[in-house]
Structure 1
Amino acid sequence: MKSNVKTIISLALIVTAALGSAAHAQNPKSTFTIVRSTQWGAENYNPFVPGDQHLLPTNSAIYESLFFVNSINGRVTPVLGTKYAWSKDNKTLTVTTRPNVKWTDGQAFSANDAAFSFNYLKANPALDTNGLWKGGLSAVKATNPSTLVFTFSAANTPMFQFIANTPIVPQHLWKDVKDPSTFANTKPVGTGPFVADSYSQQALRVLKNPNYWMPNQPYVDALVWVATSSNDAAQLKLLSGEADFGYVGISDPKAYAAKSKDASYWWPTNNINFLYFNTVKAPFNDVNFRKAVAAAIDTKEVAQKAYAGAVPAANPAAIFPGQQKQWLTAAAKPTFDVAAADKALTAAGYKKDSSGNRLGKDGKALPSFKILVGAGWTDFITMAQVIGNNLKKVGINTSIDQQAWGSYSGGLQTGSYDMGISWGWGNGSTPFYTFNAAFNPDFSAAVGKTAPSNLSRYTNPAITSALKTFRTTSDQATQQKAISTIVSTVMKDQPWVPLTDRVNFGLFNTSKFTGFPSAENPYNDSSPDDTNGARLLYLNVKPK
């Protein structure tokens, strides 16, 4: 017990030093500490730049969206929007905005700010990473201070989730920002429950917004983010009581919870972890090579070793359990078969040399392929180790390429990788969101350019057509048929390998606070600490 007290005191001193003189000017009575196993870069609170470029509190504590859509149950929580309705033809979405909300500089929020925010994305297409203005949206107008109208040229009801999550900024300040791609926004003005206070590369702090629109909330006076170098280091801070919450992908959450009476977790499934193939790079541009590699990977072993049985292997159709009953119309069986994979590689022109190593179609030795993972992410590192051992059995050599977040995400998005492990970069209440993010041509890009979410750079006309069918109808049978077309096409062309179900990795230390989300109280989906779903956590936790 004494060692824990020393550790907590030590961390407090480190955080105070890291936050600088501003920490001495404020004296919050309660501080909720978040640990993040990454490093962040320059001070930047611009909510429109990619997530690896702006700081963690930007979209979770400072800026707000119209609604929050819970990915595990589809529930919609009002935020700056209070209600919404689609027209009969699904081409008009009307949102009522919240009255009596003020920006942190004292000016009033209105529907005009929301309309400006969406039109700002239209004026700066590089910021429109969800493709709102490519998805049929044709106009956004505030018809009065509390009414916002979205007009679509073609019905696209799944777009609601992206509209709901878009951060809203103050028109009176952002109208003068001519180049948002370079705007660091170091003095952010938002409507959220906290305001920016202090920054360093070791710790970030935000303080309670005294004029927040929700009466008596938040219950805590400050949030502090502390950086660590790995998931293991983050777990130790949680166990010692140095941190209260962490979004940490450790291998065994049950073992974590068993180490302390104050340790708990909630890992609801809402996505899938994939091995992505870079399909524009040889030999991964060969469908036969990709299919053989997929057949050589034992996803059950991947799941068992990465998560100690706490998370199962993914369904090969890439539809996670909560959605299979409604959307998986035909059973999809794993293809794992080492002998078949070995024969398939040879039949596809990739013979072995005398040492059992694979050769390319040109007869030259294939290189050792890199598997890109996040630095210190123990679950992904373990997955890469298992995959490497599996592929070695069919003569393919690999190495693990650990990169910090910026290089990791940048490598996936610019197409500079061989294989990479990551989650589906789009998910929601139906499989449409996963497949649309992964295979919509609008979210791809030429090698060297940034692809918002089509990490494999794979597209197929049949999938593009099915995605269009899904979003332009509300008939469930038609939507099911579209999903079936996508599933069968993807499984035939194998641009990725679904490895394991992906959960939201909420780890908690409950020694100082109550009100964490759970299966019994799923007010969010155990959201990552830097997303708008985490805002609900920061609003609900209370000091004991």
Structure 2
Amino acid sequence: MSSNHGMRRRTALSLMGTAAIGATLAACSGDGDGGGSGNSMMVVYTGQAGDYQVNFNPFSPSRIGGLGTIYETLFFHNKAQVADPVPLLGTEFAWNEDGTELTVTLREGVKWSDGEAFTAEDVAFTFEMLQANPSINGSGWEGTVAATDDTHVVFTFTAPAFVKGPDLMNTAIVPQHIWKDLNPVEDVIENPIGTGAFTLKEFKPQAYMLEANPDYWGGEPKLKQVRWDALGGNQSAADGVAAGTIDWITSPIPDIQNTNENFPSYEAFTQWQNQMVLATSSNPELGSTGPQTDPAVRHALYYAINREQLNSLAFMETASEISPAFTLTPSQDQYLTPAVDELSAPMGAQPDTAAQILEAAGWVLGEDGIYAKDGERLSLTVEVVTGWTDYITAIDVMISQAKEAGIELVAAQSSWNEWTEKKVSGNFQLAIDSLWQGPAPDPYYLYSYFFDSASGAPVGESAGNNYSRYASPEVDEALDALTNLPLDDVAARLPHFEAIQEAIIRDMPYVPILTGGTTSVWNTAKFSGWPSEDDLYAFPANWSALDAAEILKRIEPQG
């Protein structure tokens, strides 16, 4: 894992000979359609290395599957683009005027996969259970919930909670008649009962199989079976594509731009969400030390990076441009304000601009080609996890780029645990990482995660997501105001986004690099209905459970 938010890191892969491929995949996967008729079964690999341990508890950190496919949520939020929530178990929702009460209308006629009726009591039970067990209350739900009849549930809050809505909508709903007798924290679920489009057919440590639910409220899926394989790692996944025995992986393969030429049954599709940064320990008032505490240094780094070269050499051309305001471009461009002069970071290096910024701030170019100020050379250490080959390559490239702008970068590799401890405690200068999106395609969540001073801490103490220790009264005030406004009232929200964007571009505690691409390689000869640029109805990653569930419902076997 790349960081505490659980995004997967991937390395470049090489292909084995076809004879070795056949021997490897025959042992763990079988043929591509599982011996069924036509292409009724899809084989998926999410990155599981080693055997599965059975656990279909949707609230467990060690769950292996079922979220979205078996256990549904009230609505689906498409993180790939700004769009209205898609009704699932819920059909409508409405807030009261001050954002303290949320009423959800539920779908009628839904059955649990054991035949029992789904009602509002199941929804109320689920949220009461989560609030009673903080360790699995991942959304931080806090309030009261009541089923007013079989098809309506009301959530009540003590303060405006408009921004909490997507978290509630994205929570898995479980059946009261089964879960009332379970320990939701400790119990593993071997025979999951849900309302989803799929049910569990069988589990084995090497693979588990889901099958279409014939009684699904939305109609039985055309894809009849899905097998989730456990393999030896990404090497086996690439081999599976070459052999035609795996239908969907979410990781790059060699020469990915020519996937269809190399493997005519497959296409590669990349979508961009995770915004790569050089994070800084930025706040001297909280104990941060080093040249990176000077905003001029951070801005000089921003202009020293040749992003086009970086994308080519480190990221196999799978990354894309990044906004200095950290709105996803172009999908969140509606949230950009006049505070943003550069809609995206320059793709080419601008060492002259970097030099002007540094010299205006009192830095003087030394005889060794590196700037210095008050006897301190502009030398910065970049923390990276051992084994993150794309990030390590990126740092190597940025070292030479920064040197041309008079900045010395030094790479420091460490274990994931040590890297995380340095970030959380603030004992670092720079760390390469990525900022992630929230439960809905809205920049509020990223701003609240990474720029809210309440999530910072003095150096030496554990910080939350705001490990840069950034603090801005303007940003805090704007975030507070946004919690009182409905997510769909863009006009009222824009002035507060403008205040945030003006501050974070001015201060730049996270230096934007590029937006990292998530690439899926999928079998288009056997299956149609995949997301595309023209119909990006879900984020195209098989490890993004709620998105994957929507994709599997859309898939149609071919032939």
Q: Fold match, TM over 0.5? A: yes
2:545 paired with 1:537:
no
In 2, Cα distance between equivalents of 1:337 and 1:248: 32
SS in 2 for 1:64: coil
The one-letter amino acid paired with 1:259 is N
SS in 2 for 1:103: coil
2:320 corresponds in structure 1 to 312
Answering whether residue 273 of structure 2 is matched by residue 246 of structure 1, we say no
Which deviates the most, 448-457 or 57-66? Answer: 448-457
Distance in 2 separating the partners of 1:361 and 1:265? 51
Q: CA deviation at 1:504?
A: 4.4
Q: Which residue of 2 aligns with 1:466?
A: 478
In the aligned structure 2, how far is the partner of 1:94 from the partner of 1:412? 40
Contact preservation (8 Å) 1:368, 1:397: yes
Q: How does 1:51-62 map to 2 (within 5 A)?
A: 53-55=62-64, 57-62=65-70
The answer to whether the Cα contact below 8 Å between 1:33 and 1:226 also exists between their aligned partners in 2 is no
* Alignment match of 1:195 (pick from 191, 194, 200): 200
Q: 1:511 to 1:4 in 2, by over 3 A?
A: farther
Tell me the CA shift for residue 151 of structure 1.
2.1
The separation in 2 between residues aligned to 1:309 and 1:116, in whole angstroms, is 47
The 8 Å contact of residues 68 and 549 in structure 2, kept in 1 or not, is answered as yes
Q: What SS does the corresponding residue of 1:536 show, helix, strand or coil?
A: helix
Question: What residue is the counterpart of 1:217 in the other structure?
Answer: 221
Structure 2 residue corresponding to 1:64, chosen from 72, 86, 95: 72
C-alpha distance in 1, partners of 2:385/2:363?
23
Structure 1 counterpart of 2:264: 261
Change (3 A) 1:420 1:44: farther
Distance 1:93 1:448, change over 3 A: farther
- 2:168 equivalent to 1:155: no
Partner of 2:42: 32
Q: Deviations over 1:460-511 (max 9, x none)?
A: 3321221222232244333111111111111222221222234442321223
Match of 2:400 in 1: 389
1:206-263: CA deviation from partner (whole Å, max 9, x where unpaired):
4444554433225222322344534x66444324322211222568643223323222
Contact 2:271–2:540 (8 Å) recurs in 1 = yes
Quick check: 1:187–1:196 contact (8 Å CA) kept in 2?
no
Q: Which stretches in structure 1 are left out of the alignment for 5+ residues?
A: 18-25
Distance 1:331 1:365 in 2: 28
The residue type paired with residue 398 of structure 1 is A
Contact residue 357 and residue 396 of structure 1 kept, 8 A: no
Q: Structure 1 residue 532: deviation in Å?
A: 0.5
Taking a change above 3 Å as real, the CA distance of residues 173 and 64 of structure 1, as seen in their structure-2 partners, is same
Find 1:508's aligned residue among 497, 509, 522.
522
In 2: Cα distance, 1:174 partner to 1:284 partner:
54
Residue 30 of structure 2 contacts residue 245 of structure 2 at CA under 8 Å; is this kept in 1?
Answer: no
1:77 corresponds to: 86
Deviation of 1:527 (Å): 4.1
User: Residue type of the partner of 1:256?
Assistant: T
CA distance in structure 2 between the aligned counterparts of 1:156 and 1:69, rounded to whole angstroms? 17
The within-5 A match list for 1:313-392 is 313-319=321-327, 320-333=329-342, 334=345, 337-338=350-351, 341=354, 368-372=381-385, 375=387, 378=390, 380-392=391-403
Kept in 2: contact 1:272–1:318 (CA 8 A):
yes
Q: Which moved more, 1:458-467 or 1:191-200?
A: 191-200
**SS at structure 2 position matched to 1:275:** strand
- Are residues 423 and 144 of structure 1, via their aligned partners in 2, closer, same or farther at CA, if it must alter by over 3 Å? same
Letter in 1 for 2:525: S
Change (3 A) 1:355 1:520: closer
| Aligned partners of 2:46 and 2:228 also within 8 Å | no
- The 1-side partners of 2:481 and 2:53 are apart by 42
**Amino acid in the other structure paired with 1:492:** R
Q: Deviations over 1:129-160 (max 9, x none)?
A: 43443xxxx32221122211122333333332
Deviation, structure 1 residue 66: 0.8
- TM-score w.r.t. length of structure 2: 0.78
**Counterparts of 2:534 and 2:82, CA distance in 1:** 13
- Tell me the residue number matched to 2:445: 433
2:531 aligns with 517
The verdict on how the C-alpha distance between 1:439 and 1:9 changes in structure 2, with shifts beyond 3 A counting, is same
- Select between 7-16 and 411-420 the one with higher mean Cα deviation: 411-420
State the shift of 1:410 in Å.
Answer: 8.6
Change (3 A) 1:346 1:536: same
Q: Distance in 2 between matches of 1:228 and 1:445?
A: 40
Partner residue of 2:12?
A: none
**Which residue of structure 1 lines up, in the alignment, with residue 6 of structure 2?**
none
Give the root-mean-square deviation of aligned CA atoms.
4.1
Unmatched tracts of structure 2, length 5 or more = 1-16
Alpha-carbon separation, structure 1, partners of 2:368 and 2:53: 49
Give the residue type in structure 2 aligned to 1:294. Answer: Y
C-alpha distance in 2 between matches for 1:79 and 1:308: 37
Query: Match for 2:136: what amino acid?
Result: L
CA distance in 1, matches of 2:232, 2:427: 26
1:419 and 2:422 matched:
no
Question: 1:482 maps to what in 2?
Answer: 496
Which sits farther off after the overlay, 113-122 or 483-492?
113-122
Residue 399 of structure 1 and its aligned partner are, at CA, apart by 4.0
The equivalent residue for 1:46 is 57
Q: CA deviation at 1:529?
A: 2.9
* Counterpart code for 2:243: S
User: Is 2:136 the partner of 1:127?
Assistant: yes
Q: Which amino acid counterpart does residue 203 of structure 2 have in structure 1?
A: S
Mean CA deviation greater in 364-373 or 251-260: 364-373
CA offsets 1:116-137 (integer angstroms, 9 cap, x no match):
222333233343443443xxxx
Segment drifting more, 204-213 vs 145-154: 204-213
Which residue is equivalent to 1:21? none
Give, in whole Å, the separation in 2 of the partners of 1:420 and 1:436.
20
Distance 1:481 1:28 in 2: 57
AA matched with 2:472? N
Which residue number in structure 1 is paired with residue 126 of structure 2? 117
Stretch deviating more after TM superposition (444-453 or 41-50): 444-453
Segment drifting more, 76-85 vs 34-43: 34-43
Residue type of the partner of 1:489?
Answer: A
User: What SS is found at the alignment partner of 1:468?
Assistant: helix
Taking the TM superposition and a 5 Å limit, the aligned residue runs for 1:393-412 are 393=404, 394-399=407-412
Q: Deviations over 1:156-193 (max 9, x none)?
A: 3333222221112233444455572x544455433331
Q: One-letter code of the match for 1:389?
A: S
Q: Report if the CA contact (8 A) 1:426-1:436 is conserved.
A: no
